[in-house]
A and B are shown apart, each in its own frame.
Chain A
Amino acid sequence: DSGVTQTPKHLITATGQRVTLRCSPRSGDLSVYWYQQSLDQGLQFLIQYYNGEERAKGNILERFSAQQFPDLHSELNLSSLELGDSALYFCASSVKGDTGELFFGEGSRLTVL
Chain B
Amino acid sequence: AQTVTQSQPEMSVQEAETVTLSCTYDTSESDYYLFWYKQPPSRQMILVIRQEAYKQQNATENRFSVNFQKAAKSFSLKISDSQLGDAAMYFCAYRRANAGGTSYGKLTFGQGTILTVHP
Contact = CB atoms under 8 A, between A and B. Distances in A.
Interface of A: 2, 33, 42-43, 45, 48, 55-56, 58, 88, 90, 92, 94, 96-102, 104, 106-107, 109
**Lowest 10 CB-CB distances: which A-B pairs, in order?**
A104-B45, A43-B109, A45-B106, A97-B102, A101-B47, A42-B111, A100-B50, A107-B43, A106-B44, A102-B107
Nearest to A57: B106
Interface string B91-117: 100010000111111111111100000
Question: Which of A43, A94, A109 has the largest number of chain B CB atoms within 10 A?
Answer: A43
B106 A42 contact: no
Contacts of B44: 2, 104, 106-107
Nearest to B111: A42
B111 A97 contact: no
Contacts of B42: 106
B35 interface: yes
Interface of B: 33, 35, 37, 42-45, 47, 50, 52, 91, 95, 100-112
B45 A90 contact: yes
Contacts of B52: 99
Contacts of B91: 43
Contacts, number: 55
Given A56-B105, A101-B50, A102-B95, 14 more contacts: A42-B110, A43-B91, A43-B112, A45-B108, A56-B106, A58-B106, A90-B45, A97-B102, A98-B103, A99-B101, A100-B47, A100-B50, A101-B107, A107-B43
A10 B67 CA distance: 38
A53 B39 CA distance: 29
A100 B105 CA distance: 11
A98 B102 contact: yes
A109 B109 CA distance: 19
A37 to B, nearest CB: 9
Contact of B107 (A2, A45, A97, A106): A45
Contacts of B112: 42-43
Contacts of A99: 33, 52, 101-103
Contacts of A100: 33, 35, 47, 50, 103
